[in-house]
């Protein structure tokens, strides 16, 4: 039932213009892949917008957690956010308030959510749930947020903290209970609450446990996510022993390789992009340090970036040879649609 409710809510955001835009994007992608020549019609179907790069945790495979960014840390300005949404909302369908960092560290985060929700966008965010006190949980429900993804990578403190370094599982559970409570009290169908479980070796024995925990708390859905490991070639204590949940293949000689073939196309380059807190447009969530920036929304309109020569050349380079692009070599995402 929660899946159906969420699906119907998502469908309710569709408008004739958003449907037409999606058809244009799909059509241009299929034609580009078929001909080997990059073409693009339409505007993004979804974007990720970064509220902040700041984070309270120190997760070992996260640039925010490692404090390893070369780009500056900061908070998304409301004016830049509104300017971006005002340019895109008529064709845009899905807005993800997340890239790096913890969104709830942004003091006005829920005001940004409310602005986007008022434009009829399907809104989502991902959080470590350490800041979902009672009042924040209430305001989260009131904001109109459609999907709340809560990272919970263990069902005991020891297992949880093996990856979520510095985190407290008790805070995550408290925050979850608060949101579930306010959904009921306000008789709200949103947000759709998801537990996201990043499967790594220290927690892979708790897959059944987290599903049971979610059911007990009233969480709508559990999603298991595979982990990106930066230095995977020699192996890592985080790579799961359960092959299904590993992005990497054990070659049997102490070395590992990415399982998926690097196909020379990527759906994400046609239907979505990421905007950093300071207005840089980057191709996808694998470009965590904004190395492949395509433009700057403080100096250009979104349309100038999206249809600009830099983006056109980048899409063409993917069709020519995806392995030429460093960030694409450790990516298992872009091959999943239309492969």
Alpha helices in the chain, H assignment, sequence order: 2-12, 16-35, 63-66, 78-88, 109-118, 134-143, 157-163, 169-185, 207-217, 268-271, 302-306, 309-321
Query: What are the structure tokens assigned to 33, written together?
Result: 């892949």
In degrees, rounded to 5, the angle at the alpha carbon of residue 190 between the alpha carbons of residues 186 and 193 is 115
State the average pLDDT over residues 158-182: 95
Q: What is the pLDDT of residue 231?
A: 75
Q: What is the pLDDT of residue 59?
A: 84
Percent of the chain scoring above 70 in pLDDT: 95
Q: Is the pLDDT of residue 153 over 80?
A: yes
pTM for the model: 0.92
Q: What is the pLDDT of residue 327?
A: 81
Q: Is the pLDDT of residue 83 over 60?
A: yes
- Pair 293, 327: CB distance under 8 Å: no
Q: Hey, how many other C-beta atoms are within 10 angstroms of the C-beta on 99?
A: 24
Average pLDDT, the chain: 91
Q: What is the pLDDT of residue 230?
A: 76
State the average pLDDT over residues 183-210: 96
């Amino acid at each position: 039932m929660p899946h159906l409710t969420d699906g119907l809510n998502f469908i309710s955001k569709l408008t004739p213009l958003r449907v037409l835009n999606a058809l244009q994007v799909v059509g241009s992608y299929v034609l580009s892949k078929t001909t080997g020549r990059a073409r693009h019609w339409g505007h993004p179907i979804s974007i990720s917008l970064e509220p902040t790069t700041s984070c309270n945790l120190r997760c070992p495979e996260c640039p925010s957690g490692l404090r390893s960014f070369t780009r500056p840390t900061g908070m998304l300005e409301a004016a830049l956010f509104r300017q971006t949404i005002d340019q895109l909302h008529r064709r845009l369908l899905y807005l993800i308030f997340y890239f790096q960092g913890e969104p709830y560290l942004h003091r006005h985060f829920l005001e940004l959510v409310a602005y986007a929700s008022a434009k009829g966008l399907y809104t989502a965010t991902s959080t470590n749930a350490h800041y979902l006190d009672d009042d924040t949980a209430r305001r989260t429900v009131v904001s109109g947020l459609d999907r709340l993804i809560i990272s919970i990578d263990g069902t005991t403190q020891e297992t949880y903290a093996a990856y979520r370094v510095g985190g407290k599982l008790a805070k995550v559970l408290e925050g979850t209970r608060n949101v579930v409570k306010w959904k009921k009290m306000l008789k709200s169908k949103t947000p759709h609450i998801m537990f996201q479980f990043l499967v790594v070796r220290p927690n892979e024995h708790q897959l059944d446990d987290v599903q049971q925990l979610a059911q007990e708390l009233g969480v709508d859905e559990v999603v298991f996510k595979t982990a990106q490991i930066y230095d995977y070639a020699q192996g890592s204590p985080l790579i799961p022993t359960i092959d299904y949940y590993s992005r990497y293949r054990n070659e049997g000689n102490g070395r590992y390789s990415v399982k998926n073939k690097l196909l020379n196309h990527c759906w994400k380059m046609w239907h979505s992009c990421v905007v950093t807190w300071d207005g840089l447009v980057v191709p996808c969530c694998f470009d965590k340090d904004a190395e492949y920036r395509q433009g700057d929304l403080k100096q250009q309109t979104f349309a100038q970036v999206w249809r600009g020569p830099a983006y056109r050349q980048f899409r063409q380079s993917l069709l020519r040879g995806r392995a030429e692009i460093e960030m694409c070599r450790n990516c298992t995402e872009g091959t999943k649609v239309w492969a």
